[in-house]
Structure 1
């Protein structure tokens, strides 16, 4: 087998071809747009390169037949927030052959080792964790946009190499045709109309204000997590720019108390329902197809990317109030029947309880896995929020 670093247009094309070979007979797979994947590995497009670097490879047999691919990356802003400096690997695709998978994992491990890294998380993204993060272990059905999908045998490949589950990620599905529990609405309506509380959905003409508010809420909400790093505003600007064609401003909400931002809610249409028809390309013809299918309202699902509440307000019912406002608007969008609430880490019991309280049913499980380079070192799982040492 031959490992080849991706450095030119030929190897880039091969990198994108690998998943088509892996999923050619899988009706659940939605091919991501190649341009979005390329942006992850392009310094001018990905703000993570400001404090990080990345590399990627393809793997072929002696005859040139593609067998797999992988990327490795590190962000100096984040690697030292753990007990040992930790980088990541991702965009892993591979035939069901452990020797092939081992060569790909070894390439990532060695590249990270050369840069002083002592552990590797995977499969993860070179960026924030609401996109391309985790290994699907249960729930091999359609995935919400940005949530990874993979063959079931990948779990065995990762575990056989020595990866262990650092934390589990649960996705909940909500049938939007069923009413929320009556008790929930009573609390939500009461909080939503309390004096001093205001709610506003996103608008593109006030993007900078909402970027500032997003980062303020995010940083306050996760500040006391053991591995917290302040959010880079460019990450949010980049997401808004990249996803502008699919963002529905009425699905992104902010809550304020006396004018101060205290909570956020980000939901997007599940563009995977269109991407299945585009084969990863966004050429002129596919742009027309995209606009056609969007206008035809074939998207019937949404995905909640993130919810965050400033700690002072986490027991105030503010999350319920956001759902109360959101539900009023969603009644004007009857094409949407299902919501994927993803993802909730097993280290965050509060968000898991919230998703269940609105009627969410656990539907999928992903793993964030970690491989310690020192194989004698004891493995520790992610600490539960609020119970860190």
Structure 2
């Protein structure tokens, strides 16, 4: 018999069952990178996660007898709805065995939750913070997941979503780049050179985390403005900005963070991260003293970089700010340990950046789709 059980987030045992199902389902899948157990546990912590200071959510398990066969989080992001003047719920942490009955039962329960709150549409996967990966993977299953910055799922997930009547909302494409093929056209290089010569635009480089921390408030302010035209945008609260920046600073390599300024104001940024997916797989989602050593060693030997968080304030695109950003990308591949990389999860609504990086020689290789359904 199939039942749907709401998770009591105050119960350590129930929270563990919800989290552990994901690890059990994907264990042994070579493309899957385990998330940090503590990161997922934080999502269910109503006292510590900044999402809950303005919004709400619940978590559900699908049980067949005593066996967990599926799970889902259903969320109401109130600032997003206020900004976009809509009544949407968002789902996240959806996992399910290949069984339409299980998927239907989970989403039926999610729909009940939505209707009780006057919400008229369900959208997702979409998480609790800006660095949670978007969408269900629909292309590129043969490629390894980029650390914990995106979701990985089996190829039957899109079929389940479509069978349940969900339709495409927006795609997030990740593109492959390498040293040989990612070449800025001469015209772009010349524009970047002239932009720097004029002296209004500058590229800020960092030598250590102390310098990076000093810039954090300005970075947060620019981050909150740069994606204003993107589908996923809503104004982050001060605590959410701090949450994003604290997470960024925890894993940042200062030399791989670039800030673009115009007359001393931050107008763009480029966040680069060494791909330590192999170490994350070895550690299985746990943080231990040996695991930290493993992560540090992998940072030094990996040849692969993730560029996740590439943005320029819209009003500076036509002035050369975006071209300057691409020139910095090219330098990562030309003058560092990295010979290849990935531009991770670019929304299709970021039209100009996606167009420009294709011209420069990137190759789309993964696609994550956010689905929606009117209730």
Same fold, TM-score > 0.5, yes or no: yes
1:263 aligns with 2:268: yes
Inter-partner Cα distance in structure 1 for 2:42 and 2:138: 27
Inter-partner Cα distance in structure 2 for 1:357 and 1:102: 42
The equivalent of 2:140 in structure 1 is 139
Inter-partner Cα distance in structure 2 for 1:78 and 1:193: 40
The equivalent of 1:277 in structure 2 is 282
Task: Give how far 1:216 is off.
Answer: 3.2
For the 8 Å contact 1:246–1:271, the answer to whether it is kept is no
Inter-partner Cα distance in structure 2 for 1:236 and 1:216: 8
The change in CA–CA distance for 1:233 and 1:207 in structure 2 (over 3 A counts) is farther
Q: Structure 1 runs of 4+ off > 6 angstroms?
A: none
Inter-partner Cα distance in structure 1 for 2:129 and 2:189: 36
Moved more, 216-225 or 82-91: 216-225
* Structure 2 unaligned blocks of 5 or more: none
Compute the TM-score of the two structures, normalised by the length of structure 2.
0.89
Cα RMSD over matched residues? 2.4
The equivalent of 1:358 in structure 2 is 360
Inter-partner Cα distance in structure 2 for 1:54 and 1:343: 24
Q: Which residue of 12, 15, 31 corresponds with 1:28?
A: 31
Task: Give how far 1:215 is off.
Answer: 3.6
Task: Give how far 1:21 is off.
Answer: 2.9
Moved more, 346-355 or 93-102: 346-355
The change in CA–CA distance for 1:205 and 1:167 in structure 2 (over 3 A counts) is same
Q: Residue 256 of structure 1: SS of its match in structure 2?
A: strand
Q: Which residue of 182, 194, 204 corresponds with 2:209?
A: 204
Structure 1 residues 175-194: aligned runs within 5 Å: 175-178=178-181, 180-183=183-186, 184-194=188-198
The change in CA–CA distance for 1:284 and 1:9 in structure 2 (over 3 A counts) is farther
Q: How many residues align?
A: 368
For the 8 Å contact 1:251–1:326, the answer to whether it is kept is no
Compute the TM-score of the two structures, normalised by the length of structure 1.
0.86
1:42 aligns with 2:45: yes
The equivalent of 2:21 in structure 1 is 18
The equivalent of 2:166 in structure 1 is 163
The change in CA–CA distance for 1:360 and 1:82 in structure 2 (over 3 A counts) is same
**1:126-172 deviations in whole A, cap 9, x for unaligned?**
122x4221110001111213111100100011111121101111111
Task: Give how far 1:54 is off.
Answer: 1.8
For the 8 Å contact 1:180–1:359, the answer to whether it is kept is yes
**1:343-389 deviations in whole A, cap 9, x for unaligned?**
2222232121122132110111111111111xxxxxxxxxxxxxxxx
The change in CA–CA distance for 1:242 and 1:43 in structure 2 (over 3 A counts) is farther
1:231 aligns with 2:241: no
